[in-house]
Structure 1
Amino acid sequence: MCKLILVHGRSQQFKKAGGLKQQWKQALQSGLTKAGASLEMPDEQIRFPYYGDTLHHLTKSLPGDAPDVIIKGYGEPSEGEREFIAAVVAEVVKASGISEADIRAAAETPAIIEKGMQNWRWVIAALRVIDKMPGLSSASLELATRDVYAYMHNHGIQAVIEAGIRKAFTPDEKCVVVAHSLGTVIVYNMLKREAEARNWNVPTLITLGSPLAVGPIVEALRPIGRPYGVVDWFNAFDPRDVVALHPLDYKHFPVDPVVENFSGIRNETPNRHGIAGYLDNSVVALRVRDALSRL
């Protein structure tokens, strides 16, 4: 019987599914230890759908069949990707207080750069500024948004990824879902579309470092709504995590009932976005344990 489904984020290619699952479990146990608690759960009750190699293969357009999603880098962006990246960068610029003067100063040819995200030179210059700000990383930001774009706008990629993750769910079987980064987008999209029809029973959804409330992502996922059967939705984020730009509040992500947001994370991983820096938080770890205890 499965009780816990863990869905990872981006940039997990060339890793071992079993090793990643163990890292998640260790981080969760670390958080519980900080809280003076523990969790005993057989490994077979925890499912970890690994799609890292699959996503890498598909987005790189490598020859041959993509690796299967296991249950246990890019060239120049296309026009659609550029528009998507530009919109996200513009939102980060606004939220981070970066000025047009800062962006112009970072441009290779500031005299000819046009203001606004419609100009790719502006986007590149803005990314340079982001890259120099403490806690922000333009490389992480760009790759994260391109992976999200690939999942949401390429139906072939979406179908392959979802087919693998779908295997982690069993109809009528109660489970807690914990998702991170791009995984939150995939899980939300799948639960919203399929939970009722497939009889998935997910009373608790926990999202960590989620980019769901970023404007272009919200637009691509409309209509926004709470997935069927999700009673408790707990969203934790570090305010310094550029991928989790906004809380999942009614202003940025209008679902009813509203999502419970927790911003008290100090993610100590290098980019402030790593899963270990979320799951080893005592508040997050206790929410996972308490949700499992109610199944």
Structure 2
Amino acid sequence: MKRKLIFIHGRSQQFKDSIQLKAEWISAWKKGLKLNGLELPMEETDIAFPYYGQTLHDLVERSPEVAEIIIRGAEEDAAKKAFVRSVIEEIKKAKITDEQLETIVGSDVVERGPLNWPWVRGVLQAVDKYIPGGSGSSIALATNDVYQYLNSSGIRDSIESGVLKAISPGIETVVVSHSLGTVVAYNLLRREGESREWKVPLFVTLGSPLAVTAIKKALRPIGHPSCVSKWYNAMDPRDIVSLRPLDEDHFDISPSIENHLEVNNHTDNRHGIAGYLDDKQVAKRIYDALVA
């Protein structure tokens, strides 16, 4: 029986037509295949694309003030504030210098460190100022979405329902995921893969935040999903969402994950799916797994 392919998208996909969004993923993959002198190895209709973008938007509050509320730290419970603070602190360590932060909030706030919320706001403002294509408000919202997925069973169940239906027991399925979708896919493969008799010859994560400490802790114990034969991760080092590779230093599991860290993502924020799927090596790895 031929292998199947499933694409699992990330956040900020609300108000989009699911058919058009799937077409955009396929179009980007085709561009990457063309660089290898290849064409799609399957019919487009055979590619599964469970869409949860509108569901996520509808379940997580999305008023224009939400990002500002998160950034201010107002009206947030202690657990969420701790999660957001941890993520922002890690971004600061990886991408923002003390000198850059000081130009925004002053030396006193920098010295007091991440336990004071003005420091957190300052880092997000520094993302806007110093990271090309970076957006502090987008980081705040993305962090909130991941937190909601990890901590709200209602949101988690709604997001996962379509993915669960798209993977069939005993049928070899290549899973390609992006951004928040990598967290969703990993969590499902780890939790459900063995009991549901899933067979995943290749699990692909693109622009994945799984190595971010707060996310990794929420998913403990981490490990290689037993239903997955090989795991391939790709990232652009400039992608502030993925932040770190899934290597032995940041996501130490056995067997280890193959990392492709030389993606030149051409999208504005270095994180867009088009800039990953049209990468020559990424496109070829997906192709090879399907025709094996």
Determine if the TM-score, normalized by the shorter chain, exceeds 0.5. yes
For the 8 Å contact 1:2–1:47, the answer to whether it is kept is no
TM-score calculated relative to the size of structure 2: 0.92
Please name the residue that 1:50 is paired with. Answer: 51
Please name the residue that 1:70 is paired with. Answer: none
Please name the residue that 1:122 is paired with. Answer: 119
TM-score calculated relative to the size of structure 1: 0.91
The percent identity for this pair of structures is 47
Shift of 1:40: 3.4
Q: Paired residue for 2:282, among 270, 281, 284?
A: 284
Please name the residue that 2:93 is paired with. Answer: 94
Correspondence 1:29 to 2:30: yes
CA RMSD after TM alignment: 1.8
Please name the residue that 2:176 is paired with. Answer: 178
Amino acid at match of 1:116: G
Please name the residue that 2:186 is paired with. Answer: 188
Gap change, CA 1:87 and 1:112, over 3 Å in 2: closer
For the 8 Å contact 2:30–2:278, the answer to whether it is kept is yes
Please name the residue that 2:80 is paired with. Answer: 81
Shift of 1:140: 2.4
CA distance in 2, matches of 1:46, 1:202: 15
Shift of 1:97: 4.4
Shift of 1:61: 7.9
For the 8 Å contact 2:210–2:216, the answer to whether it is kept is yes
Instruction: Flag as ranges the 4+ runs of structure 1 deviating above 3 A.
Output: 109-114
For the 8 Å contact 2:41–2:291, the answer to whether it is kept is no
Please name the residue that 1:272 is paired with. Answer: 270
Aligned residues: 282
Please name the residue that 1:65 is paired with. Answer: none
Shift of 1:59: 0.7
List per-residue Cα deviations over 1:60-110 (Å, max 9, x = no partner).
189xxxxxxxxxx836232332221211111111112411x4323312x76
List per-residue Cα deviations over 1:33-76 (Å, max 9, x = no partner).
112222231123210000000000111189xxxxxxxxxx8362
User: What runs of 5+ residues in structure 2 fail to find an aligned partner?
Assistant: 71-75
Matches for 1:159-174 after TM superposition, within 5 Å: 159-174=157-172
Amino acid at match of 1:180: H
CA distance in 2, matches of 1:113, 1:251: 27
Residue 243 of structure 1 aligns to a residue in which SS? Answer: coil
Amino acid at match of 1:222: R
For the 8 Å contact 1:30–1:280, the answer to whether it is kept is yes
Shift of 1:114: 5.8
Correspondence 1:132 to 2:129: yes
Shift of 1:285: 0.3
For the 8 Å contact 1:237–1:244, the answer to whether it is kept is yes
Hey, which of these two has a bigger chunk of helix by percent? 2
Of stretches 172-181 and 160-169 in structure 1, the one that deviates more from structure 2 is 160-169
Q: Paired residue for 1:207, among 200, 205, 208?
A: 205
For the 8 Å contact 2:41–2:290, the answer to whether it is kept is no
Shift of 1:112: 6.1
Shift of 1:255: 1.1
Amino acid at match of 1:45: D
Please name the residue that 1:218 is paired with. Answer: 216
For the 8 Å contact 1:4–1:176, the answer to whether it is kept is yes
CA distance in 1, matches of 2:159, 2:206: 20
